[in-house]
């Protein structure tokens, strides 16, 4: 974590929580806030059905709300899809794009990630764009090649001004929901590499300011050591974001890493 970049802690609730449960969880997060959290950006990412309720619950606080996916068209005959305009109206400022579960189960590709990212930016949503390698790619020594290819086909097609508004999230697929987080060294290797790719594509200043999150089995007990790595600027948290206590504990650890 570098002081130059404000830590971001985003909780991806995936397909959990009814509207009533989502409200309860958001209320518990709000109750747990104190002034120290002002130094971080906290984002709650509920399922679509609960976005509006969560937005209402956190209004008046600095907590932001995000969505888990978006379609690239503004409106039209696209049954089942949600447009950036609709997300904005419901209260979102962020949207996760290219999560590995979308890639694995719903046919997301680097090309659809590119289109969704542009559409989100066009409507004033900040995209949190995910990328990461499979276990097989890691074990066969292809991690960095895979990361580079993913970024070149999606994010690095953006103009510099657009790129500067994107949050990146490195999520090794083998670490998601498995309880097996990347070690701080593994996360740092990929995240430093990612920053060097950003520097070659957009220059050093863009790289210095790029926010690169880590995601994959982040818990209160591993957050501090991960956050101490200089290129880890915060977390995209799944399972541990479903309880206010563990979500806030992770955010506290991220803030501690900035102070230390």
Q: Tell me which of 171, 229, 231, 253 binds ligand PGA, using CB under 6 A.
A: 171
Q: Tell me which of 11, 98, 215, 234 binds ligand PGA, using CB under 6 A.
A: 215
The residue from 101, 108, 133, 171 that is catalytic is 171
Residue 229 near ligand PGA by CB under 6 A: no
Structure tokens at 178: 């498995």
The residue from 99, 101, 137, 229 that is catalytic is 99
Choose the binding region for ligand PGA from 29-37, 109-117, 213-221, 224-232 (rule: CB under 6 A).
213-221
In terms of CB distance, is 91 or 216 closer to ligand PGA?
216
Q: Tell me which of 120, 166, 237, 248 binds ligand PGA, using CB under 6 A.
A: 237
In terms of CB distance, is 57 or 217 closer to ligand PGA?
217
Residue 66 near ligand PGA by CB under 6 A: no
Among left, alpha and beta (phi > 0; psi -120 to 50; other), residue 124 is left
Side-chain half-sphere exposure of 201, counting CA atoms within 13 A: 22
Buried b (16+ CB within 10 A) or exposed e, 53-83: bbbebbeeeebbbbbbbbbbeeeeeeeeebb
Verify whether residue 123 is a known catalytic residue. Answer: no
Structure tokens at 157: 């097609």
Residue 12 near ligand PGA by CB under 6 A: yes
Closest alpha carbon to 49 in 93, 82, 2, 97: 82
Verify whether residue 171 is a known catalytic residue. Answer: yes
CA angle centred on 132, ends 2 and 17, rounded to 5° = 90
- Residues with a catalytic annotation lie at 99, 171
Interface residues with ligand PGA (CB under 6 A) are 12, 171, 176-177, 215-218, 236-240
């Amino acid at each position: 974590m570098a002081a130059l970049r404000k830590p971001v802690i985003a909780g991806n609730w995936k397909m959990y929580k009814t509207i009533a449960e989502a409200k309860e969880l958001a209320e518990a997060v709000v109750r747990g806030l104190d002034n120290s959290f002002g130094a971080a950006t906290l984002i709650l990412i509920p399922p679509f059905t609960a976005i509006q309720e969560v937005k209402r619950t956190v209004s008046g606080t600095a907590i932001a709300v995000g969505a888990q996916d978006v379609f690239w068209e503004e409106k039209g005959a696209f049954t089942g899809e949600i447009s950036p305009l609709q997300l904005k109206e419901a209260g979102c400022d962020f949207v996760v794009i290219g999560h590995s579960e979308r890639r694995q189960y719903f046919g997301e590709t680097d090309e659809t990630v590119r289109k969704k990212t542009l559409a989100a930016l066009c409507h004033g949503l900040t995209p949190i764009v995910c990328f990461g390698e499979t276990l097989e790619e890691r074990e066969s020594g292809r991690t960095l090649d895979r990361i580079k290819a993913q970024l070149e086909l999606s994010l690095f097609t953006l103009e510099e001004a657009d790129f500067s508004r994107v949050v990146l999230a490195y999520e090794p697929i083998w670490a998601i929901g498995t309880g097996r987080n990347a070690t701080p060294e593994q996360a740092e290797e990929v995240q430093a590499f990612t920053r060097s790719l950003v520097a070659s594509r957009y220059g050093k200043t863009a790289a210095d300011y790029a926010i690169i999150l880590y995601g994959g089995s982040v818990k209160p007990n591993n957050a501090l050591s991960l956050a101490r790595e200089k290129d880890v600027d915060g977390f995209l948290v799944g399972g541990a974001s479903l309880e206010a206590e563990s979500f806030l504990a992770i955010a506290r650890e991220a803030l501690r890493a900035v102070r230390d």
